[in-house]
Amino acid sequence: MLELLFDVLGEFALQAAGEVLLELGLHSVAEPLRRPPRPWLAAPGYAILGTLFGALSLLLVSHHLTPEGPLRLLNLVFTPLAVGGLMVAMGIWRARKGESPLRIHRFGYGFLFALCFALVRHAFAE
């Protein structure tokens, strides 16, 4: 049972780390690229980035971290929800520091990134 908990937490940590690294990288280059928001363009961009980060994660950890069965499907749903919430929390934290939040700090964009990340891992991990 404890191993199962570590597997689920490992999957969450892997996706969260991918988004945090993306967020840090985006934040560093966002200032010169500020334009009026275009959500119709941003959403597919986050989906593509999530897919790419999911594929890159397979190079680091090529196997599933959650066991076969219903838990793997639950992980596919709940981990992106949790990571989306984490990104909202990071946006609030950045706003309190006086920094402007990025689009990924909105739940929908964070969730979309994490969902695409998780779908790639679900489909292609060993």
Residue 93 placed within a domain: yes
Question: Taking 90 as the threshold, does the pLDDT of residue 13 lie above it?
Answer: no
Q: What is the DSSP string of 54-95?
A: HHHHHHH--S-SS-SSHHHHHHHHHHHHHHHHHHHHHHHHHH
Whole-model pTM: value is 0.74
Q: What percent of the chain has pLDDT over 90?
A: 38
Residue 34 placed within a domain: no
Containing structural domain, residue 45: 2-28+39-124
Phi, psi for 36 (deg, rounded to 5) = -60, 140
Residue 98 placed within a domain: yes
Residue 33 placed within a domain: no
d(CA 111, CA 117): 10
Report which of 109, 79, 64, 77 is spatially closest to residue 91, judged by C-alpha positions: 109
Tally of domains within the chain? 1
